[in-house]
Amino acid sequence: MVNVGRCPVGGVLFYRTLFSALKVAFLPPTSPLSPDVSFVLSLLPLTLNVPLPSNLLDEVCYLSLGFAVLILPEVYRKLLTLCAMHVASIAPPYVSTVLGSFSHSDDACLRADGAPDDVAEQRKKAFADLIDKLAKLFPKSSKIYDEIDGRFSDIRFFDVKKVFFPFREMAKKLSVCVVATKTDGPYLVDADGHKILDVSGSYGVNVIGYEGFKSIGNRAHKETLNDLGPVLGPIHPDLRGALSMLSDVSGQPECSLHMSGTEAVMCATRLARFNTKKKFIVTFGAAYHGWYDAVQPGVGNERPVPDIIVLKDQSPVSLQVIRSRAHEIAAVIVNPLQAFTPNQPPPSDGTLIGKVRDSGVTNAREDFRKWLLKLRATCSKTGVVLIFDEVYTGFRLAPGGAQEYFNVKADMICYGKALAGGMPIGAVCGPAELMRRYDPDHPLRLCYLVGTFSAHPSIVTMTKKFLEDVKKIDYQKKHDEGHPVRLAHFASVWLFQYTEPGRFHWLMQYYLRSRMVNLAWVGTGRLSFSLDFNQEHLSTLRASILLACQDMEDGGWWWTSGPNHSSVIKKMVNKEIAWSLTVSAGRKIRAMLGLGRGAGGNRKKAI
């Protein structure tokens, strides 16, 4: 029954939302038809005498239907997002509190892969020898380490990350702290006078080699610290050169200077939100973007982060999510190092238990380049800002970073690490309309984004000198130098791979240390070479790795039970996880009953 005059609200709403849904489904958000064609269309049924509600019940039905159709696109977008989300970000924060910590006894450690008595005995002796060897090799370093132990929170965290948790007590007996006093090419001279080959990369800062950095520092310090001091506010003349070279490298006209990579990411994401007036930032599968908890959603974060969406790397569904939610996504941020280990966190010895990790290295460059091109096209089409977090890859993959290496251009680029020749820095480059911190239409709308040490004269001068020096390096020639060991590599970033599973691969970092190789705090999961490594340094490294491998063999750490060793290990790890869950549940129950220390009561004993 047609009753246009009585109460057409539900009908208009119904048809309007129906057309809205069709519009959302079939028109891109940037379509010029988007400004409400659906409203005009929804009036058509009224003029064309299409049935509208004639009584209250019909009205309620129409309204409910209208409401259902209205929320359909949103439901579709949410479901799509759920399909594309990376698993680590879906897991609620309390998951990390479910596993309870425990340590194996010394004897259980030695048999943690089901090894028989004679192998456990062999390991016991090898382990005692290794403790002894490290203690004898590094007495002064160990003493200094002992003196700062308990006072330097950062080192305490690194130690915790080094090995899988049931082995931590065992690992604590091994001292590997490097106390460096001097560098000589890629070698560190430690407090005990040893020359140690350094593939730690100084957290990724050491791209051009310590000698290069020393030369920059010596020149810059003389010009700025000696002659000028830390004058902040007035700008240094070198700022001109630094900015213009940074502009050339990034392909962007403006730049903002900060103190760390973390700050650069904070700046870029905040500016993207401010200038697009949109809420969400998209990151990809377990990529690291600094320690700010707003870019670390998921397990381990103590607070929910409501404005980040973590999607799967290299997935077409992720692109669909960006397309369908472009109206609320301010920016997509990519850490190009993920080409090395897509959808996985940076490898560490705590996780390198088993078989060869699928590092995605073989076709990394081409696959990732294709992915970046698709992402670029999606962002351009939908008006979403594409940010490259080049804090690690900038100046490492190529002078122009990942943009040059993959030949894909970003809208905003974050730099850090090596940029200031070894001094603390973060930088963001982008176009004027994205770098603006004020709203020309609303004078009170400001993005308050400043910092005391921005454009510090020493740092500006070091940045200028670094960019000048980087221009002179032939990256291709450096990357093509032979890689003598079977390690996965992505330009100058390497990763140890193991062809057999084993529970003691983590010991490799300690044996390498005893063979005078300095690894990064994440251990054998990330070796960062500086570009001054030559054939001789690589040969030395190869010899040290082979000796460390022999140590692993001799110690019985690579004993295997046979072709099914991998499932034996899996079973034992599963048992440990089950035990860990039991420990945790037990503590919680004890706490609930008011018995003993319960959950969280072990703070004093925490590592």
Cα dihedral 297, 301, 302, 304, rounded to 10, equals 10
Interacting residue with ligand PMP among 321, 334, 364, 391 (CB under 6 A)? 391
What φ, ψ does residue 559 adopt, rounded to 5°? Answer: -60, 140
Which residue in 411, 403, 424, 397 sits closest to 257, CA to CA? 424
- Taking the C-alpha atoms of residue 246 and residue 252, their distance in angstroms, rounded to an integer, is 8
Which residue in 171, 117, 114 sits closest to 575, CA to CA? 114
Q: Which is nearer to ligand PMP, 204 or 285 (CB)?
A: 204
| Residue 528 in contact with ligand PMP, rule: CB under 6 A | no
| Residue 265 in contact with ligand PMP, rule: CB under 6 A | yes
Q: Which is nearer to ligand PMP, 62 or 466 (CB)?
A: 466
The number of residues making up the chain comes to 607
| Residue 158 in contact with ligand PMP, rule: CB under 6 A | no
Q: Which is nearer to ligand PMP, 260 or 320 (CB)?
A: 260
Minimum CB separation of residue 392 from ligand PMP in Å reads 4
Interacting residue with ligand PMP among 62, 288, 340, 559 (CB under 6 A)? 288
CA distances from 436 to 121, 443, 450 (A): 66, 13, 12
Interacting residue with ligand PMP among 290, 394, 401, 555 (CB under 6 A)? 290
Show the tokens assigned to 369.
């380049």
| Residue 405 in contact with ligand PMP, rule: CB under 6 A | no
CB 208 within 8 A of CB 418: yes
Sign of the alpha-carbon torsion through 566, 571, 575, 580: positive
- Taking the C-alpha atoms of residue 175 and residue 368, their distance in angstroms, rounded to an integer, is 39
| Residue 526 in contact with ligand PMP, rule: CB under 6 A | no
Minimum CB separation of residue 250 from ligand PMP in Å reads 15
Interacting residue with ligand PMP among 34, 247, 260, 301 (CB under 6 A)? 260
Q: Which is nearer to ligand PMP, 334 or 473 (CB)?
A: 334
Minimum CB separation of residue 335 from ligand PMP in Å reads 4
Please give the helix or strand (H or E) that residue 418 lies within, else none: none
Q: Which is nearer to ligand PMP, 10 or 346 (CB)?
A: 346
Rg, Å, the chain Cα set: 29
Query: What's the angle, vertex CA 13, arms to CA 12 and CA 17, rounded to 5?
Result: 115
Encoded one letter per residue, x for contact with ligand PMP by CB under 6 A and - for no contact, window 306-345 reads -----------------------------x----------
Minimum CB separation of residue 265 from ligand PMP in Å reads 5
Minimum CB separation of residue 116 from ligand PMP in Å reads 42
Q: Which is nearer to ligand PMP, 389 or 551 (CB)?
A: 389
Q: Which is nearer to ligand PMP, 72 or 155 (CB)?
A: 155
Minimum CB separation of residue 389 from ligand PMP in Å reads 5
Show the tokens assigned to 494.
């390497």
Show the tokens assigned to 503.
């529970």
Interacting residue with ligand PMP among 416, 421, 501, 523 (CB under 6 A)? 416
| Residue 501 in contact with ligand PMP, rule: CB under 6 A | no
| Residue 238 in contact with ligand PMP, rule: CB under 6 A | no
**Which residue has the CB atom at the shortest distance from ligand PMP?**
261
| Residue 289 in contact with ligand PMP, rule: CB under 6 A | yes
Which residue in 365, 391, 354, 392 sits closest to 496, CA to CA? 354
Q: Mark the segment that binds ligand PMP (CB under 6 A) among 17-25, 212-220, 386-394, 474-482.
A: 386-394
- How many residues touch ligand PMP under the rule CB under 6 A: the total is 14
Minimum CB separation of residue 425 from ligand PMP in Å reads 8
- Taking the C-alpha atoms of residue 476 and residue 336, their distance in angstroms, rounded to an integer, is 18
Interacting residue with ligand PMP among 138, 280, 392, 494 (CB under 6 A)? 392
Show the tokens assigned to 208.
């051009």
| Residue 421 in contact with ligand PMP, rule: CB under 6 A | no
| Residue 261 in contact with ligand PMP, rule: CB under 6 A | yes
Considering only residues 83 to 142 of the shown chain, the ones binding ligand PMP according to CB under 6 A are none
What φ, ψ does residue 443 adopt, rounded to 5°? Answer: -60, -25
Minimum CB separation of residue 393 from ligand PMP in Å reads 7
- Per-residue H/E/C for 199-227: CCHHHHCCCCCHHHHHHHHHHHHHHHHHC
CB 228 within 8 A of CB 238: no
Q: Mark the segment that binds ligand PMP (CB under 6 A) among 108-116, 255-263, 533-541, 544-552.
A: 255-263
Minimum CB separation of residue 155 from ligand PMP in Å reads 16
Show the tokens assigned to 12.
């208009």
What φ, ψ does residue 52 adopt, rounded to 5°? Answer: -130, 165
Q: Which is nearer to ligand PMP, 19 or 490 (CB)?
A: 490
Q: Which is nearer to ligand PMP, 115 or 391 (CB)?
A: 391
Three-state secondary structure call for residue 340: coil
| Residue 368 in contact with ligand PMP, rule: CB under 6 A | no
| Residue 161 in contact with ligand PMP, rule: CB under 6 A | no
Helices (H), 325-407: 364-382, 401-406
Distance, CA of 125 to chain centre? 39
Q: Which is nearer to ligand PMP, 199 or 569 (CB)?
A: 199
| Residue 415 in contact with ligand PMP, rule: CB under 6 A | no
| Residue 492 in contact with ligand PMP, rule: CB under 6 A | no
Which residue in 367, 369, 380 sits closest to 406, CA to CA? 369
| Residue 351 in contact with ligand PMP, rule: CB under 6 A | no
Show the tokens assigned to 292.
């700010």
Q: Mark the segment that binds ligand PMP (CB under 6 A) among 121-129, 136-144, 257-265, 463-471.
A: 257-265
Strands (E), 419-522: 426-430, 438-439, 442-446, 488-490, 493-495, 517-518
Q: Mark the segment that binds ligand PMP (CB under 6 A) among 77-85, 119-127, 130-138, 284-292.
A: 284-292
Show the tokens assigned to 421.
């020749």
How far the first Cα of the chain sits from its last, in Å, is 75
Which residue in 187, 190, 189, 191 sits closest to 210, CA to CA? 187
What φ, ψ does residue 413 adopt, rounded to 5°? Answer: -135, 135
Q: Which is nearer to ligand PMP, 142 or 314 (CB)?
A: 314
* Contact residues for ligand PMP, defined by CB under 6 A: 203-204, 260-262, 265, 288-290, 335, 389, 391-392, 416
